[in-house]
Structure 1
Amino acid sequence: MSTAPANTNKITLRTADNQEFEVDEAVAMEFGTVKTFFDENPDASDEPIPLPNVSSKCLSTIIEYCKFHLALRARDDSSSVEDEAKVYDEELIKAHDNESLVELILAANYLNIMDMLDMLNEGVAARIKNKSVEYVRKFFGIENDYTPEEEAEIRAQYEWAFEGVDPDED
């Protein structure tokens, strides 16, 4: 496998809050949405690419994630690369509160960055594992549409599902 010189072409991305980010083409091509944009608009190379569903805060995190993982993939020593990636990903999850994790998931999904989306989903799954229904509702901003009677009936019918849940924390 030959090593080509690093691609220095820059692509400008414009977020929903109208912030512009100039990134290396290699980083931008990690976003499936950007690839599709260029496929559909081959003459749009000088225009900022609009990302109407991504905030600047999320895009900044996503760019750093992609840069880090691109650099790791460029290396050959696979065991240390996997360990470094795992540590980086765990720290990224720890550094974000529940609300920003959900926002990152939506952005990674919109940008079609499947590795990041999988990692974020696993992090959220770990956070809600063995938590109460109320905690999960709060986590995702889901309004309880059951009447108290309906909820009591479901809890009685599926009592086993509500046993042994971890205490909720904020």
Structure 2
Amino acid sequence: MSTTVPKKITLRTADNHEFEVDEAVAMELGTVKTFFDENPDATDEPIPLPNVSSKCLSTIIEYCKFHLSLRARGNDSSSAEEEGKVYDEELIKTHDNESLVELILAVNYLNIKDMLDTLNQGVADRIKNKSVEYVRRFFGIENDYTPEEEAEIRAQYEWAFEGVDPDDD
């Protein structure tokens, strides 16, 4: 009985690290899949990922491997579904705000819908019911309102600022 060795694909990050992954994992990355769909004669050269750091790609590869293994077990398995939820929750917990945003940008570039949905929900949960100042810091947004303009907006939409949780950063 012979076993076939999965085809390997090399991915090169923005910081010039190379990752050799099984084709099945690489095809989870929508951007890479599209590249191969459009270039069926592509060589074995590394695929450049100019908008992805090695730190992010490492996390993304682990995510894809884990979720591929869950799908291989079957989506009907309630234990697999629960394992997936626990894994996703831990993924969110182990990243600070800055690295979570960086990961979202990389995942968006790579077009990995399920992972993007998971990360976006994690961000939504973190900024839910937080102050405007907290959200600005979270995303690195500069306040471009004058104090007078901001006071006017706060007065006009006072209801939107009621019951905001204290900032926890």
Bin of the TM-score, shorter chain as denominator length: over 0.9
Structure 2 Cα separation of the partners of residues 42 and 48 of structure 1: 15
Unpaired stretches in structure 1, ≥5 consecutive residues: none
Structure 1 residues 7 and 164: alpha-carbon distance in aligned structure 2, compared to 1, 3 A threshold: farther
Deviations 1:23-81 (A, max 9, x none): 00000000110011112222223010000000000000000000000000000352111
Unpaired stretches in structure 2, ≥5 consecutive residues: none
Deviations 1:101-156 (A, max 9, x none): 00111011000000000000000000000000000000000011101000000000
Q: Match for residue 23 of structure 1?
A: 21
Fraction of identical pairs, as percent: 87
Q: Match for residue 36 of structure 1?
A: 34
Counterpart AA for 2:133: E
> What SS does the corresponding residue of 1:109 show, helix, strand or coil?
helix
Structure 2 Cα separation of the partners of residues 109 and 59 of structure 1: 12
Output the TM-score relative to the length of structure 2: 0.95
Structure 1 Cα separation of the partners of residues 43 and 70 of structure 2: 27
Q: Match for residue 168 of structure 1?
A: 167
RMSD (CA atoms):
1.2
Structure 1 residues 89 and 138: alpha-carbon distance in aligned structure 2, compared to 1, 3 A threshold: same
Structure 1 Cα separation of the partners of residues 92 and 71 of structure 2: 20
Aligned length: 166
Counterpart AA for 1:74: A
Q: Which runs of 4+ in 1 moved over 6 A?
A: none
Output the TM-score relative to the length of structure 1: 0.95
